[in-house]
């Protein structure tokens, strides 16, 4: 199933998409909601970010080639950091560059959407806590990431976490193509099979540190090919069997 948040006339609701038509959820899909029977056209509604997480847990250096391109060692256990939920934007929205940074970069990532509360779950049962998967861009001020000594500000600015366009629920995350396309040019082109720590391992590891709530996101790391963003760029994260998340880039406000 493909789950989206659609906005029409200022109202947002959950829908299950079926091509150009959709069925509305009576309650949130994170609250056991089921879809209503009416099939409606959604072409005049806008897609919004499909999640409102309590936290966004990210994994650094989870692809060996990307760790190497930034001159870093390949980690021996997952390297975790957090992005604030206030950084989230949805499809078609705008990443606003910052006066504080001269080097803001894209990072295309598969995002895991948690479906039910998970505390200290095993690797074997980890996937049963997943609602589905979406695309994310872990936008990063690379110069500030180095300068600050830790990553909260560099990765946490408002608009630095585009997610969407929807949640795909019936998906095996183990070998999917993950691309980043900037103004039609492919900048990143990796596969989730290249992850150092796979999705079940990450869920188990993260849930030993933080209780994961329904709607929480795990961003699983980026393949090699990260690069700078400039005002006017159209940047897309494209993941096989999910779709394409496109946002535009604007000058500092």
Binding site for Zn ion (CB under 5 A): 107, 138, 222
Least distance in angstroms from the C-beta of 115 to Zn ion: 22
240 token code pair: 């096989």
Three-class SS state of 136: strand
Residue owning tokens 């699983």:
220
Residue whose CB is less far from Zn ion, 178 or 212: 178
Residue number of the CB closest to Zn ion reads: 138
Residue whose CB is less far from Zn ion, 45 or 138: 138
Residue owning tokens 């989206």:
4
Least distance in angstroms from the C-beta of 202 to Zn ion: 13
> Please, which residues have CB within 8 angstroms of residue 239's CB and are 6 or more apart in sequence?
108, 110, 133, 135, 176, 177, 178, 179
Least distance in angstroms from the C-beta of 221 to Zn ion: 6
Least distance in angstroms from the C-beta of 110 to Zn ion: 11
Residue whose CB is less far from Zn ion, 107 or 168: 107
CA distance 221 to 84: 16
The answer to whether 54 touches 41, Cβ cutoff 8 Å, is no
Element (H, E) at 153: helix 152-156
Residue whose CB is less far from Zn ion, 138 or 168: 138
Least distance in angstroms from the C-beta of 111 to Zn ion: 10
Residue whose CB is less far from Zn ion, 2 or 106: 106
Residue whose CB is less far from Zn ion, 159 or 222: 222
CA-atom Rg of the chain in angstroms: 17
Three-class SS state of 64: helix
93 token code pair: 């929205």
CA distance 204 to 223: 22
Least distance in angstroms from the C-beta of 180 to Zn ion: 11
């Amino acid at each position: 199933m493909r789950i989206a948040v659609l906005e029409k006339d200022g109202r947002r609701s959950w829908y299950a998409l079926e091509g150009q038509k959709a069925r509305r959820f009576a309650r949130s899909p994170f609250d056991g909601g089921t879809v209503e029977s009416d099939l409606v056209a959604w072409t005049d509604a806008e897609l919004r970010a499909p999640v409102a997480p309590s936290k966004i847990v990210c994994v650094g250096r989870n692809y060996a080639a990307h760790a190497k391109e930034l001159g870093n060692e390949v980690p021996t256990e997952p390297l975790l950091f957090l992005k604030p939920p206030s950084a989230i934007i949805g499809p078609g929205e705008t990443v606003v560059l910052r006066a504080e940074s001269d080097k803001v970069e894209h990072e295309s990532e598969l995002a895991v959407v948690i479906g039910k509360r998970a505390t200290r779950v095993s690797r074997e049962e980890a996937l049963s806590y997943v609602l589905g998967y979406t695309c994310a861009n872990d936008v990063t001020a690379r110069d500030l990431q180095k300068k600050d000594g830790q990553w909260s500000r560099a990765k946490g600015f408002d608009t630095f976490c585009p997610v969407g366009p929807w949640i795909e629920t019936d998906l095996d995350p183990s070998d999917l193509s993950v691309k980043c396309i900037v103004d039609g040019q492919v900048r990143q082109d990796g596969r989730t099979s290249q992850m150092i720590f796979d999705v079940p391992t990450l869920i188990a590891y993260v849930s030993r540190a933080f209780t994961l709530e329904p709607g929480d996101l795990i961003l699983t790391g980026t393949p090699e090919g990260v690069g700078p963003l400039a005002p006017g760029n159209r940047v897309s994260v494209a993941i096989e069997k999910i779709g394409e998340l496109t946002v535009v880039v604007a000058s500092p406000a």
